[in-house]
Structure 1
């Protein structure tokens, strides 16, 4: 009897060990084991960490192969494929600089140096060294990306001179729609739970359909907790300029086959302070965010359910109905916090269900989503809104990936959206009519990789149906069909020290209802707008080159581009006023050429291993053969950051110091009736301390606009009322992290 029990126990242990795979990670010398290496198993949506021996246990299921993404601080990341065996040996090459994160926004998840289309991938933590106040400020740290803001509460991303409806935003693959045609409508996206952001610059219709003419912003949630563990994260941030606070809480827990995350945050800011010690009247805002995600994996599949609720109340600085505007009336001696009219109330709901099935050499992804955006604006009356619009969207994406051998892969699919816009009957004004929009697209792209070369090419066809449901501004109900065929071709050549990318891509954007039918006040944007029902779709063609030279301690990137747009739609200020508000007309240029470059430089000197010097220069310009009518072109920008990794101390560590200098050159290339902008300098400084024992406590303190520079950015919506940006700001951020990892 005892012999049988021992035999059964031995058999059980054999089966258990066989079902688990040991991952062993060492440095390139194969002698030093690496601790705390992160291993992300894509097909299981699972994170593992190596122990002090450089080992981690991995339990594969029924899937024929697994993709493992390996990353460790100070080492070059890797993506490997596991098919069989009980031991995986991985050696990581020491690297002082690794700019090639794995991107998710491309056709397939791959490192940046394996994708011919230039994608900027950044961790939110790296972009938040100096406590940015909104997501727009975070994105503006990326070369070629800027923000167009209306105070602190309303901010929109600008990519290579384009914004609004020409930029498509996604979170975990779900397209975000939020009345982005309005200059005074925010993004509806908060930092809570976001781990990284990727930016595709230029036309991206092949992947994301109509509208992605200027680029794509792709937000990725931070990973779940590692298997059989939990994470608790609490953070509080204080901003001296707005006397504002931000409080966040995140709970993550994971089993072997399931993962859960719940989070919440609340931000509250009073009117911001100006360099002249006055305050920007009605620039206050507060934001509440709730977030939840659940994921589980079956034998051959992974399933995600995600939900986010975002509610923002923001004042509208510079809003007026006066026929004669006194700019000084918008700068007041008292700082206030409680909202007063005029004010906007934004509510956003985002829900998505993503499902991935894995077969031999095949992968099927189906994503279904629902988004709802409600915008209510109260102007003069508390009981009657001046605007009240609800935008609902049903979205789907179905992608099939197929490996046709060792070197060839295809990704094909369909994608679409059904959108409804409805105005509340009790609103006093209507900016756009009730409408229905239906998008559908089909695409296919092929990837060939061999030795030092990588080629990608694809084609996509989109069709959009746009219908207004009633007459509007003396126009009968509108019914239009727009369609577009787009291509994308790119290649990579890679040698040990040189990376060369070149890509050609096209895109199209149908005119929006506000461009076709507007005829009235848009007080939040300080404009009276007149549309044109005869506008044609915009069509873009971009040529983009990336040259990257790298050595052990140095990386240099040169990324010039040319974007040729036909039928470019723009707002032209005319020499007319209505009740003290400037009149703008939507017009169309036959052809416009956007051109420019992003230059990046990262140096990690051998003689000072703790020092990092990151520098970037971004320049964009626009040329029209007809006249100088392209407005809101960003100022050329030079940014330098010095970061010193100290790590002094044992239990309490002085972790790092960071100094950033931004120099924006003057913008003299302006449109008719658009004013020029002066050059300005900004200096930010911060330091981080850490207490590490069973839990980790981080303290980040610093100052923004250290020199108290008086400046107005060329893209600021407050430029019309001559209002400066916020003055010197001190900040302090305290974060507590507790995790329990079951090795």
Structure 2
């Protein structure tokens, strides 16, 4: 499908509107709240920025295995994919390096060559998924230039007795089986939360046939203990562990260099995330609340390049990214309509990857150690203050932050480079927004925000081949990106209609990317990490929901983004395609609810030709249709969904792979999900 409604037509269609999958589990019109946008719970209709919040029922209705998959089709969001596990969310055209990924508000750090750190927690254990679109550096510092994604897990609650919730599901495209259970146990001043999930996912089937090496196994565990000191104070200890086994990234498959290697594909036999947190909170329900936490998080990955012609690995890497962090925040209710918050975030990430190469043709068996860098470190310290004030119908949100980021390494290029590997940067971020309630259905808002992103470890220090077929050359002196975004929007909601509309323009200076240089290293084309100068992003987003008759809702959404490389005067590399969706959700009979969604994605022919040197080509447009049926009784629900109804062959524009050979999305699939609480 190559044509989309114009923005005006989409706006008219949106008069009957929102994403059907988001509404599939909702039967009420409770105000949408988010904790990620302000750092504490607040209503979206009183927040002058664009945010998304999906609760547990909505996540289960989407049948998504990870955060990237769950956010597919949401206006302003896209997915960069190199395989079923590697579903990286993209916010307004900015990828994983420009997004702060959080789990329970704690940063998940990892220099990710393949796959998605957003997948290192099972959504079967998620209570809610929240997204802030646009610069969120005031609260989350470096890396939140494009926004923030926060996966929130259940917290231990002081509810007497035991409460247990379970879920089980799967789909026919991948013969997947997923199951999860969460228990809350409490007595007196002690509360425990325990959760576990498993997933056994097979190679999925696309309309063109089975996609080899697309299956994997996954297991997650979460636990928390809370001790109630008194009515206002609590201590907590939290543990999390997630492990994926036998993960391949089929989108990375490329002809090897030299050709004797055959097709080379990146795989991860084992990857694991561990988290330990201790925290103290005080909430007096009055003027001053605060929370402090210390945590350690480890992300260990085994990354291998499997050469098909050899029947074994051409390279093997084992690396652990260890992050020690400290967060402290406080809220001071200066006045019933005036909340002041402030805090400090400090973290240090360390890594020392061990890499072995088999690079002696024709045997390819020398197993030589060739570490991309040694003892890499990134230290970050940030201080912020935020003012949330209400003046009658006007709500004003203003914030200011100062950050210091330092990167260093002992050496890079297997010890060949030892000088010039340290750099310190200082950055100031800010935001100022206001939203005014003319009426419940008319709340205009404006927001001016500034964010930044310092280079991550691969961009600073790694000089080595990667799975995309390029030899990357790091840059220890890379300058931080800075983005300034201006956004205008409208929001509104009543018992029959809700919507949000936003238009934004973001100007990025010192944009960090890998530029194809035309040079060759080790037989591979070279990409040099560098600041290209300036880039501009402009976009329009809409979503809405309308109850046309009692318990029958129509939904619609529209998203359009334009990215421009201002230096080369051409489209920015790998921008998401325009898309729109229409849907219906409603009561059928008794406890039965149905839903349907039509997603339409336009042909993407706005590609970077000079910058990419022919490595980005146009992607055909497509349309998909999904149907769902949900039955609820007492504390149980059963959902049956048919995805990609017409068995459409397609791939998203941001799917990794050789042009014309990208892996296709799953074909027609029957998905089942059962939930129960007792």
TM-score (norm 2): 0.86
Partner of 1:723: 663
Unaligned runs of 5+ in 1: 1-71, 76-96, 331-339, 739-743
| TM-superposed deviation, 1:572 | 2.6
Alpha-carbon spacing, 1:236–1:582, altered in 2? closer, same or farther (3 Å): farther
Partner of 1:683: 625
Q: Secondary structure at the match of 1:604?
A: strand
TM-score (norm 1): 0.79
1:646-725 pair list within 5 angstroms: 646-648=588-590, 653=591, 655-672=592-609, 673=614, 674-692=616-634, 696-718=635-657, 720=659, 721-725=661-665
d(CA) in 1 for partners of 2:622, 2:564: 25
Alpha-carbon spacing, 1:216–1:205, altered in 2? closer, same or farther (3 Å): same
d(CA) in 1 for partners of 2:404, 2:266: 41
- Is 1:173 paired with 2:173? no
| TM-superposed deviation, 1:113 | 1.7
Partner of 2:50: 118
Residue among 108, 115, 134 paired with 1:184: 115
- Is 1:636 paired with 2:581? no
The answer to which of 434-443 and 223-232 deviates more is 223-232
Q: What number of residue pairs does the alignment pair up?
A: 624
d(CA) in 1 for partners of 2:493, 2:675: 35
The question of whether the paired residues in 1 share the 8 Å contact of 2:355 and 2:371 is answered with: no
Partner of 1:249: 181
Partner of 1:50: none
d(CA) in 1 for partners of 2:50, 2:565: 26
d(CA) in 1 for partners of 2:26, 2:212: 45
- Is 1:286 paired with 2:217? yes
- Is 1:563 paired with 2:483? no
Residue among 519, 524, 534 paired with 1:591: 534
The question of whether the paired residues in 1 share the 8 Å contact of 2:540 and 2:560 is answered with: yes
The question of whether the paired residues in 1 share the 8 Å contact of 2:619 and 2:653 is answered with: yes
Partner of 2:445: 501
Partner of 1:373: 299
Partner of 1:271: 203
Residue among 529, 538, 541 paired with 2:472: 529
Partner of 1:260: 192
| TM-superposed deviation, 1:590 | 1.7
Residue among 606, 610, 621 paired with 2:562: 621
Superimposed CA distance per residue, residues 14-33 of structure 1 (whole angstroms, 9 cap, x where no aligned partner): xxxxxxxxxxxxxxxxxxxx
d(CA) in 2 for partners of 1:99, 1:589: 43
Partner of 1:395: 325
| TM-superposed deviation, 1:324 | 8.0
Alpha-carbon spacing, 1:101–1:534, altered in 2? closer, same or farther (3 Å): closer
The question of whether the paired residues in 2 share the 8 Å contact of 1:174 and 1:352 is answered with: no
Unaligned runs of 5+ in 2: 1-24, 358-368
The question of whether the paired residues in 1 share the 8 Å contact of 2:443 and 2:492 is answered with: yes
The question of whether the paired residues in 2 share the 8 Å contact of 1:151 and 1:718 is answered with: no
The question of whether the paired residues in 2 share the 8 Å contact of 1:571 and 1:587 is answered with: yes
Residue among 253, 256, 259 paired with 1:322: 256
Superimposed CA distance per residue, residues 378-400 of structure 1 (whole angstroms, 9 cap, x where no aligned partner): 34597997111111011111112
| TM-superposed deviation, 1:659 | 0.9
Partner of 1:61: none
| TM-superposed deviation, 1:371 | 0.5
The question of whether the paired residues in 1 share the 8 Å contact of 2:85 and 2:115 is answered with: no
Alpha-carbon spacing, 1:361–1:685, altered in 2? closer, same or farther (3 Å): same
The question of whether the paired residues in 2 share the 8 Å contact of 1:532 and 1:587 is answered with: yes
- Is 1:542 paired with 2:491? no
Alpha-carbon spacing, 1:526–1:287, altered in 2? closer, same or farther (3 Å): farther
Partner of 2:434: 491
Alpha-carbon spacing, 1:684–1:225, altered in 2? closer, same or farther (3 Å): farther
Q: Secondary structure at the match of 2:138?
A: helix
| TM-superposed deviation, 1:697 | 3.6
| TM-superposed deviation, 1:645 | 2.3
The question of whether the paired residues in 1 share the 8 Å contact of 2:655 and 2:662 is answered with: no
Superimposed CA distance per residue, residues 58-112 of structure 1 (whole angstroms, 9 cap, x where no aligned partner): xxxxxxxxxxxxxx9766xxxxxxxxxxxxxxxxxxxxx4452243541332111
Partner of 1:345: 270
d(CA) in 1 for partners of 2:178, 2:50: 34
Q: Who wins on radius of gyration, i.e. which is larger? A: 1
d(CA) in 1 for partners of 2:559, 2:195: 36
Alpha-carbon spacing, 1:624–1:383, altered in 2? closer, same or farther (3 Å): closer
Partner of 2:5: none
| TM-superposed deviation, 1:691 | 4.2
Choose between structure 1 and 2 for higher RCO, CA contacts under 8 A separated by at least 6 residues: 2
